[in-house]
């Protein structure tokens, strides 16, 4: 069966510090991968998605970046965090878009607080 | 880009009352999915609707897809405290990626 891991679970970082959040998927090959951000009490904002190694699409211009160095690894980074980067970061994977396997499966999330 | 509008944003009910959330798209959807996010948790897939006029049930939850495939609803009969959370619809147009609605947060007074 497939599983998705995210770490860390919680993170408190000062403004201006770097960020690296990691997401890994097990039990599937060539998944579509997604990074979402959710502000407190709000909806899901799609940040990045990837259909393959090294292929990243950005949805929202900001000071965040994403990379996919391996098939089942997705990393969210920032060189300098802003207060507005605080939120709940969710990684998700899915099968081929439009196919029967396009359900998105979410990881447990990372709760980031920037002070 | 394409959007799904979801209403209401918040709903507070007494335990035992019914609850409904609605999603609308201005253009025809290929399919629509529903997810539930418990407080402090992550979204979990509930169901996918594909066919025009489709109705699916999961215990006290009834999901409908409109005849024109532009709207969908989730109805919960006789809510229980375990139903608390945020319910998201997510629509797809063709082979495009899934687009999530803003969610409806359900709170329940026991």
How far apart (Å, rounded) are the C-alpha atoms in residues B98 and A115?
A: 33
More confident residue, A95 or B109: B109
Instruction: State the alpha helices, DSSP H only, in chain A.
Output: none
Q: Name the token pair of B17.
A: 């009352």
Instruction: Say whether residue A49 is in contact with chain B using an 8 A CB cutoff.
Output: yes
pLDDT band for position A98 (50/70/90)? very low
Please say whether the beta carbons of B69 and B28 come within 8 A: yes
pLDDT band for position B4 (50/70/90)? very high
Instruction: Say whether residue B89 is in contact with chain A using an 8 A CB cutoff.
Output: no
Instruction: Say whether residue B92 is in contact with chain A using an 8 A CB cutoff.
Output: yes
How far apart (Å, rounded) are the C-alpha atoms in residues B85 and B103?
A: 10
* Closest Cβ opposite residue A98 in set B45, B92, B99: B92
Mean of all residue pLDDT scores within chain A: 91
Location of structure tokens 């939120």: A87
Q: Is A109 left (phi over 0), alpha (psi -120 to 50) or beta?
A: left
**For the residues A64-85, what does the mean pLDDT come to?**
96
Largest CA distance in chain A: 42
A41 CB neighbours in chain B (<8 A) are 105
pLDDT band for position A101 (50/70/90)? low
């Amino acid at each position: 069966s497939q599983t998705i891991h995210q770490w860390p679970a919680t993170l408190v970082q000062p403004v201006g510090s770097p960020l690296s959040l990691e997401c890994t998927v097990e039990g599937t090959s060539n998944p579509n991968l997604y990074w979402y951000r959710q502000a407190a009490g709000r909806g899901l904002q799609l940040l990045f998605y990837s259909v393959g190694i090294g292929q990243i699409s950005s949805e929202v211009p900001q000071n965040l970046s994403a990379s996919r160095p391996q098939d089942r690894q997705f990393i969210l980074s920032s060189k300098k965090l802003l207060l507005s980067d605080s939120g709940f970061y969710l990684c998700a994977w899915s099968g081929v878009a439009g196919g029967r396997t396009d359900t998105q499966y979410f990881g447990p999330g990372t709760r980031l607080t920037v002070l | 880009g394409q959007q799904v509008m979801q209403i209401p944003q918040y709903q507070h009910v007494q335990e035992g009352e019914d609850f409904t959330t609605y999603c609308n798209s201005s253009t025809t959807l290929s399919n629509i999915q529903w997810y539930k996010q418990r407080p402090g948790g992550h979204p979990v897939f509930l169901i996918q609707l594909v066919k025009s006029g489709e109705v699916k049930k999961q215990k006290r939850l009834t999901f409908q897809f409109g005849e024109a495939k532009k709207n969908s609803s989730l109805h919960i009969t006789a809510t229980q405290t375990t139903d608390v959370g945020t319910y998201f619809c997510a629509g797809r147009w063709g082979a495009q990626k899934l687009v999530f609605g803003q969610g409806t947060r359900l709170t329940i007074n026991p």
